[in-house]
Chains A and B, each alone.
Chain A
Amino acid sequence: MFLGNSGVSPVVTLILAVCFLVLGARRLDTVIRLVVFQAVLLALLTGILGLANGIGEMVFIAGLTLVIKAGLIPFILKKVVDRIGPRFETRSYVNRKMSFLLAGALVMVAYLSTGRIAQTLSAPGREILATAIAMLLIGLLVMVTRKLAVMQIAGFLIMENGLFLAGVGTTHGMPLVVELGIFLDMLIGVLIMGILTFRIQSSFGSINTEKLRNLRG
């Protein structure tokens, strides 16, 4: 078939690479573009797997991924960033070199921890699962280390992409109804987080989540 399972490996690698690029990004709009790119890659991967295994639902989900993760959500994020103004630099607690090192360590943790489960999986699944866990951890790392609220949303999206990847790679996707539910959840989640970001901006004059510390009683 078209590309087949052999075409999966480079796409997965690229998806993981995008995560590193997010850590290296200096500007918020770059991050949004990277999130779009990752979603496109994810849709591509789902499509390939769907065609290779002859599962129509997965192709449909690939289309949905494209519409929501690469279309609607970035649109919302873009709006948030535009409304907030010109402060585009991503601020962080740790510098970029350190971020890369930590992310590298997390990838190792991911491979280490999935070792036993991965043995029971077929060839592409093994790599996909490790990548998925790595994405989960890197997404969390982004949320922990970056100061601006938009980056927390980006980290959340990377985590969600990781979960999605794990589902697609190991079980050929969850049932369609569940998948639709997750998409809806995520859309609402991002919407709410976007609104919250506005509120943080209007209350504190900044979207730096460090300022939330002032709320403590």
Chain B
Amino acid sequence: MTILLFYLVLGLLLLGGLFAYSLQGKPRLSLRVGFSFALGSAVAGTVLGIIILLTGDTVYTGAGFASLPGMNRAFLIDPLAAFFILVISLVSLAVSIFSFGYAEEYIGRHNLGILGLLYNLFLLAMVALVASGNAFFFLFFWELMSLASYGLVVYDHRDSHVRRAGFVYIVMTHIGTLFIFLAFLLLYQAAGSFDFEHMAQFGRQLPAGFKTGIFLLVTVGFGTKAGIIPLHIWLPKAHPAAPSNVSALMSGVMLKTAIYGFIRVVWDVLGGGSAWWGIFILSLGAVSALLGVMYALMQHDIKELLAYHSVENIGIILMGLGAALIFQGYGLPALAMLGLVAALFHVLNHALFKALLFMGAGAIHHATRTRDMEKMGGLLKLMPWTGFFFLVGSISIAALPPFNGFVSEWLTFQSLLVLGSAPLSLKLNILGPVFGAALALTGALAAVCFVKAFGIQFLAQPRSTQAAKAKEVPRSMLIGMGILAVLCLGLGIFPSSAIQLLNPVTLHLVGYGSVQALGGYAWLNPQIPLLPNLSYHTTIAPFVLFVVLAFGVLLVYRVVKWLGHGGTRIDETWNCGGTLSPKMEYTATSFAKPIRIIFRRILLPKRVVETEYALGSHFTRSLKYEGAVKPFFEDILYRPAQNVFLKVSGKMRLLQSGSIHLYLGYLFITLVILLIWAK
């Protein structure tokens, strides 16, 4: 039954892609058909995920027709896979609805058949990838996912920036895939089988050095796809280049498939490792989170800003995973469960609010035709619903109650703080809270960043005519955003529902169910024994928080109204005797300036000011300001590597004379030398 549902998910996506492609002559129909099939499959996928997570069963299929030596399972959906299928399906459900309205802007400009085909293939690859029962299928769908998403990134291929972004993306993703290939081939060599089930039996007994090698390979390989610093450079280029519905999927879901792969190999196959793996992942996560949010603050292209926030959130997820790995290394599976729940819950939450924000950015772009925040402003009055949903996403990503981001970050905090009191080495006891502080700083900076993003875009007066002429987007786009906004609030108030679903996942991975982190209906109440006489215990009640907050807001509103004059005054604000104009507004650049100054040693900002004088040096005619943040990793890591590569290629070019006779000559000489040598 469940397996039929799984085939339905794949089948609908395949048919949707093919139908959309074959109907490319009728763009409007092609669009409807393509996204309808994706929507149907998303509904089926959601049901499938929930069924498996509630029953805790594992479903699998034999390799059958595609059988190769060392391969018995084509697809294997265990609770971990089911959880990721649920994440993919929930996001694609909302994004597919959003796309009905959003993709209309491409009618007449681009081929919608290809969009439908690639969109469906992309989803198909992601679902099949997490459901793969063996490394071979995994790699196949991994590549399909990369290629389909590349096709979508360069969909707007007439723009040279887009083509360049696509190039960087495909190069980086292939470098990552290389490492994953290596890891899987080594595992195949050790286990003699491509099946994950089979690998898991052998994986735990492998020699420690071998395991560490695999661990490092998958960290680099999946880290490239997930966008950890310093492997993140493709991310802020590719996300803005892609159509917004695709960026929502890429950022919300595709990055998570890398997290899935990492968990699959490190936990399921290798069964965890020594504690320093955890410290390594934790540090990578902390660096990615902090630098990600700092770079995000410096961006004024809304989609680039969101892309850097993906780097930050992947960092937060990795911090949870790192803490879990440390506990696993010390043989404390109950605490490892806490870190895993935090990480997996944040996977779900980030998928929801980041997809929501990207759709919001898409809606704004749809209405104003620009992504530059400095040209927006005052959109809240023109697009109230979009503004409201964007605000929900912003609060969620800034980890404020009562939304979902708060809960998973709170859990991450708990798993970091418990590092301080758990029976670990003294160094780790000190390090834990330090990482906690790093996470706190990240959260604060994220909040600043979204005050900027929301304030500059939606408040005050429009800064350009495009922004002044913006209109609310079509209903389908609002419904798409609305679904995710509701989910963000729902999971924020009732996180128990998600943690309940995670129970079979952690039970399978570390042997402890996640319900222990629950106190009751609306409470989170992790109660975990550390030592016989000491247990870890902390409580929070998101639902109560929500009620208190709601009443608090209401109360403040009433009090202010009562204290104030009552009624609305219409008057000019104190305005220095002039009329207010958009030129007087705070810009995104100036808003971020304090942060830029505080972290100037890290961000290395540079600025160029050109002044043109009219009369002497006291009357300026025009002032041109240009500021940028030094692309540190590009400069110290990628450019030298690129130069070396080009230099070597240049030397190799000598061989490529273009003369067919010389090429044959190479063969000839090689053959003669080999014959004489082999004599």
Contacts and interface: CB of A to CB of B under 8 A. Distances in A.
B62 interface: no
Contacts of B664: 140, 143-144, 152
Interface string B666-679: 01100110011011
Nearest to A210: B659
A215 interface: yes
B659 A109 contact: no
Contacts of B627: none
B659 to A, nearest CB: 5
A11 interface: no
Interface stretch (A12-20, A70-78, A112-120, A163-171): A112-120
A106 interface: yes
A213 B679 contact: no
A137 interface: yes
A30 interface: no
Interface string B640-677: 00000000000000001111110011011001100110
A140 B660 contact: no
A209 B664 CA distance: 12
A188 to B, nearest CB: 20
Interface string A43-55: 0000000000000
A215 B675 contact: no
A216 interface: yes
Contact of B665 (A109, A137, A144, A216): A144
A145 B669 CA distance: 13
Contacts of A116: 679
A133 B657 contact: no
Contact of A216 (B656, B671, B676, B679): B656
A2 interface: no
B664 to A, nearest CB: 5
B668 A141 contact: yes
A152 B660 CA distance: 10
Given A116-B679, A140-B667, A144-B665, A213 B659 contact: yes
Interface residues of A, number: 25
A106 B658 contact: no
Nearest to A146: B661
A213 B657 CA distance: 7
A106 B660 CA distance: 21
Interface in A126-143: 133, 136-137, 140-141, 143
Contacts of A113: 675-676, 678-679
Contact of B658 (A110, A141, A144, A212): A212
* Residue in B656, B658, B667, B678 whose Cβ sees the most chain A Cβ within 10 Å: B658
A213 B658 contact: yes
A209 B658 contact: no
A210 B659 CA distance: 6
A215 B668 contact: no
Interface string A190-217: 0000000000000000000110111110
A64 B184 CA distance: 48
Contacts of A109: 672, 675-676
Contacts of A137: 668, 671-672, 675
B652 to A, nearest CB: 14
Nearest to A149: B660
B666 to A, nearest CB: 9
Interface string A146-167: 0100001000000000000000
B658 A215 contact: yes
Given A93-B661, A145-B661, A115 B679 contact: yes
Interface of A: 93, 106, 109-110, 112-113, 115-116, 133, 136-137, 140-141, 143-145, 147, 152, 209-210, 212-216
Given A140-B667, A140-B668, A216-B658, 6 more contacts: A109-B672, A112-B679, A133-B675, A143-B664, A209-B660, A210-B659
21 contacts: A110-B675, A112-B675, A112-B679, A113-B676, A115-B679, A136-B671, A137-B668, A137-B672, A141-B668, A143-B664, A143-B668, A144-B664, A147-B661, A152-B660, A209-B660, A209-B661, A210-B659, A210-B661, A213-B657, A216-B656, A216-B658
User: Nearest 9 A-B pairs (CB), nearest first?
Assistant: A216-B658, A113-B675, A213-B658, A144-B664, A140-B668, A209-B660, A144-B665, A143-B664, A113-B679
Interface of B: 656-661, 664-665, 667-668, 671-672, 675-676, 678-679
